[in-house]
């Protein structure tokens, strides 16, 4: 490949500035790296806000941001400000959302193994929806509700038996899944019967299903609705959430479906299946909100050419700030922000600094011929499952998160220090 990087993969307000230098929201990326160091996650704040608004316009006020994709105090505030519910799946995510000032009734608690402490935290805070995932959880929730005389609104998560076209590690709607109550096994019917038959305790208000992540084929969501509809229509409840999973293009040629198209496909399937028009049809996008909003900037430290085999380009981050290539074989592009629109005729393997041969960021990266040690190298579409899955492997401090908007940059998550690495040691 000799073409420049596809600018459609960059954040919405990215531009090629003077001398070919990359700017985002009016901020020069190379200047930002000089100020904040590398690695660094750089997010286009207005891009995030625009995607939140599109999601609300497509699905309505019940649409929830899936916080697992990327979460921090500021992200919680922005999603809340833009009218989204927020889907949290652990006590930690719940704590961050509450710390950010998110109204508890706008929170949805997920998780396949919620502890007594997490459920109690949600009940005491007044979380708006709890998505029940197992019979053991029902036992815990009923006991806690009785002790508190509480009646929280709950959705039952079901596995509809739909295998989405995606990586097996992020498929969740098939019968063989750790999530939810199976339709085919009859567990979903048992769970609903238990909830509907209880005069007190959790109140069933809807059904939830999630079939996987990074899904481009909208008919997968339609198939899920078709599978759910006969069961759902017998319950007399008013909410149906189809979960998240909308795909995002990471490399040139991959499509990115719109929220409008996604909602239209779900609504059409619901209408065809006889689901009443008054039912609230919602979704839980995460990746589709934030993935393309960010880039990761690295500094090239070593270039090692092995004649006849490959050239390794080592950068100052790696699997500790982006484990997706190691976990899923995920693909990324790479380019130099000093010459954003330059052709990229050279093929290299971009690797991290960790003590693993599998610490690969881009297996076959197209880069400019003049790539050199000391260059800033960028991977786009890293706004989801980079920061949120980051680790301290090899005791590498996690990068900062910098948001840019209207020509200004601000740190929303500071860089970790070496002192942070020992702050919890006893």
d(CA 58, CA 263): 6
Return the DSSP state at 335: B
Block means of pLDDT (10 residues each) for the chain, 426 residues, are 90 96 98 98 98 98 98 98 98 98 98 97 98 96 96 95 53 67 92 91 96 90 93 95 95 93 97 95 98 98 97 98 94 98 97 97 97 98 97 98 98 98 98
Q: Which of 99, 46, 50 is nearest to 71 (CA)?
A: 99
Q: Are 261 and 285 in contact (CB under 8 A)?
A: no
Measured CA to CA, the distance from residue 353 to residue 258 in angstroms comes to 36
Q: What is the mean pLDDT of the chain?
A: 95
Contact 343, 4 (CB under 8 A): yes
Q: What are 254-270's pLDDT values in tens digits?
A: 989 999 999 999 999 99
* Cα 141-144-150 angle, rounded to 5 deg: 95
Q: Please check whether residue 375 is in contact with residue 299, taking contact to mean a CB–CB distance below 8 angstroms.
A: yes
Q: Which bin fits 92, alpha (ψ -120 to 50), beta or left (φ > 0)? A: alpha
Domain with CATH 2.40.37.10 in the chain: 7-43+292-420
**Is 355 one of the catalytic residues?**
yes
Instruction: Tell me the three state secondary structure of residue 78.
Output: helix
Q: Is the dihedral of CA 167, 170, 174, 176 positive or negative?
A: positive
Catalytic residue among 145, 241, 297, 355: 355
Domain 7-43+292-420: CATH class, spelled out: mainly beta
**Topology of the domain comprising 45-290:** TIM Barrel (3.20.20)
Could you tell me where in the chain the CATH 3.20.20.10 domains are found?
Answer: 45-290
d(CA 177, CA 185): 12
Strand runs labelled E in 54-151: 64-66, 85-88, 107-109, 129-132
> Using one digit for the tens of pLDDT, what is the confidence trace for 134-155?
999 999 999 999 999 999 999 9
Phi, psi of 204 (to 5 degrees): -75, 120
> What digits encode the pLDDT tens for the residues 339-373?
999 999 999 999 999 999 999 999 999 999 999 99
Its pTM stands at 0.95
């Amino acid at each position: 490949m000799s073409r420049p990087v596809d600018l459609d993969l960059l954040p919405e307000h990215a531009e090629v500035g003077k001398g070919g230098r990359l700017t985002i929201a009016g901020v020069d990326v190379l200047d930002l790296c000089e100020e904040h160091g590398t690695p660094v996650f750089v997010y286009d704040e207005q891009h995030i806000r625009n995607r939140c608004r599109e999601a609300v316009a497509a699905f309505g006020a019940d649409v929830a941001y899936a916080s697992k994709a990327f979460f921090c105090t500021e992200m919680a505030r922005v999603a809340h400000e833009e009218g989204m519910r927020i889907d949290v799946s652990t006590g930690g995510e719940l704590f961050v959302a509450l710390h950010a000032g998110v109204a508890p009734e706008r929170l949805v608690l997920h998780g396949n193994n919620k502890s007594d402490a997490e459920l109690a935290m949600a009940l005491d805070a007044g979380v708006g929806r709890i998505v029940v995932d197992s019979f053991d959880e029902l036992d815990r929730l009923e006991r806690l509700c009785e002790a508190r005389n509480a009646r929280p609104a709950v959705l039952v998560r079901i596995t509809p038996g739909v295998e989405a076209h995606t990586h097996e590690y992020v498929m969740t709607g098939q019968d063989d899944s750790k999530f939810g109550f199976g339709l085919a096994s009859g567990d979903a019917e048992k769970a609903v019967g238990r909830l509907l038959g209880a005069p007190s305790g959790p109140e069933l208000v809807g059904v939830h299903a999630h079939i996987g992540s990074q899904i481009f084929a909208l008919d997968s969501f339609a198939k899920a609705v078709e599978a759910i509809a006969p069961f759902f229509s017998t319950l007399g409840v008013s909410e149906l959430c189809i979960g998240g999973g909308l795909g995002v293009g990471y490399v040139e040629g991959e499509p990115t479906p719109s929220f409008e198209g996604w909602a239209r496909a779900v609504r059409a399937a619901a209408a065809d299946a006889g689901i009443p028009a008054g039912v609230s049809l919602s979704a839980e996008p995460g990746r589709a909100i934030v993935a393309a909003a960010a880039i990761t900037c690295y500094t090239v430290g070593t270039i090692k050419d092995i004649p006849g085999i490959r050239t390794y380009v080592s950068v100052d981050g790696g699997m500790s700030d982006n484990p997706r290539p190691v976990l899923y074989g995920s693909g990324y592009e790479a380019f130099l922000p000093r010459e954003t629109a330059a052709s990229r005729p050279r093929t290299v393997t971009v690797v991290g600094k960790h003590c693993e041969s599998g610490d690969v960021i881009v297996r076959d990266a197209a880069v400019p011929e003049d790539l050199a040690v000391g260059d800033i190298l960028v991977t786009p579409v890293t706004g989801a499952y980079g920061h949120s899955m980051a680790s301290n492997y090899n005791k590498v401090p996690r990068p900062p998160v910098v948001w840019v908007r209207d020509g200004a940059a601000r740190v929303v998550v500071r860089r970790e220090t070496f002192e942070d690495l020992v702050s919890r040691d006893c």
